[in-house]
Amino acid sequence: MQGEPDPKASEQIAYMSGRRVSYTLDSTLETVNSAEETASRIAAEAGFGDEDITRIAMAVREAAVNAVLHGNAYDPGKKVTLAFERTAVDLVITIRDQGGGLDMSKIPDPLAPENLLKTSGRGIFIIRSFMDEVEIHPSQAGTEIKLTKHVHGSNLDGKEASQ
Amino acid sequence: MTMKTSTRQVNGVTVVDLSGRITLGEGSVVLRDTVRDLLSKGNKKILLNLGEVNYIDSSGIGELVSAFTTVRNQGGDLKLLNLTKKVHDLLQITKLYTVFDVKDDEAKAVKSFS
């Protein structure tokens, strides 16, 4: 049979076999929404509960916002790379941009009283709150953020216990 | 899903019923425009009913903060009504739950403006 493979089916096969699935995306608002939706779907397939799915999808959304807006600054010549990898114990999500590299020293503490009423600066904090491990690697070639959620977290354990 | 708003007057308070997502892009812009429009018409007592808002991202939180400070700076007040669990949790972890005046009863919330 000829014809284009169903991209969703291909992703599913790659994912199920434990391989890495990656996407190269434009620096647009659509990418932010698409990253969130894809993260939500893959987290559900990995067996996470509803609350964890929401948190993972939101963390990915915030990382994608950083990549598109602050990293690539909507530059059509720059791409965002989004990758998902399922290990035996973790779901690992990597988001990379091609910007100038995030200056970690300029990220304020959004919980400090003087920053509470600021209208921005909460993205990284939300990501750290919702994921188990967060690594941020800024370089002159861009910023890579690696998000890890343990598959056998408390929600999943609870789900298994109730079965 | 796009965000929708409708406004109604209750005893001198403008209640804004929002539904959908307040996120980067359209949702945040709709909220900003709605509050600006109300202020330009002299409506400075604003109650945002978030009962049908099931998702806010950091941009949406920023927009809520911006609306709050803008209204306060013009001598008015902005309060929040009927938070969903997701929004409630997000405002808690960002320590904004104590900054905003959050209500869960519309009649009492309206009364609290006077």
The answer to the question of residue A119 being in a domain is yes
Residue B104 tokens, joined: 């869960």
pLDDT of residue B65 exceeding 50:
yes
pLDDT of residue A153: 53
Determine contact, residues A132/A116, Cβ cutoff 8 Å: no
Domain extents in chain B: 4-111
Which of A58, A69, A115, A124 is the best residue to mutate to test the B interface, defined by the most B CB atoms within 10 Å of its own CB? A58
C-alpha to C-alpha distance for A96 and A14, rounded to whole angstroms: 20
pLDDT of residue B2: 77
Give how far A32 is from chain B: nearest CA, Å. Answer: 9
Residue B108 tokens, joined: 């009492």
C-alpha to C-alpha distance for B25 and B44, rounded to whole angstroms: 25
User: Do residue A125 and residue B61 have CB atoms under 8 angstroms apart?
Assistant: no
Q: pLDDT by residue (tens digit) across B10-38?
A: 999 999 999 999 999 888 899 999 999 99
Residues of A in contact with B27 (CB under 8 A): none
The answer to the question of residue A3 being in a domain is no
pLDDT of residue B49 exceeding 70:
yes
Domain holding A111: CATH number? 3.30.565.10
Number of domains forming the structure of chain A: 1
C-alpha to C-alpha distance for B26 and B19, rounded to whole angstroms: 13
Nearest to A35 by CA among B23, B41, B42: B23
* H helix or E strand, kind and range, residue A85: strand A79-86
Residues of B in contact with A111 (CB under 8 A): 94-95
User: Do residue A119 and residue B62 have CB atoms under 8 angstroms apart?
Assistant: yes
Q: pLDDT by residue (tens digit) across A4-61?
A: 445 454 444 445 445 689 999 999 999 999 999 999 999 999 999 999 999 999 999 9
Q: ipTM for the complex?
A: 0.90
Q: pLDDT by residue (tens digit) across A53-105?
A: 999 999 999 999 999 999 999 999 999 999 999 988 999 999 999 999 998 88
Residues of A in contact with B57 (CB under 8 A): 58, 61-62, 65, 126
The answer to the question of residue A1 being in a domain is no
In chain B, the percentage of residues whose pLDDT exceeds 90 is 89
User: B4-111 adopts what CATH topology?
Assistant: Transcription Regulator spoIIAA (3.30.750)
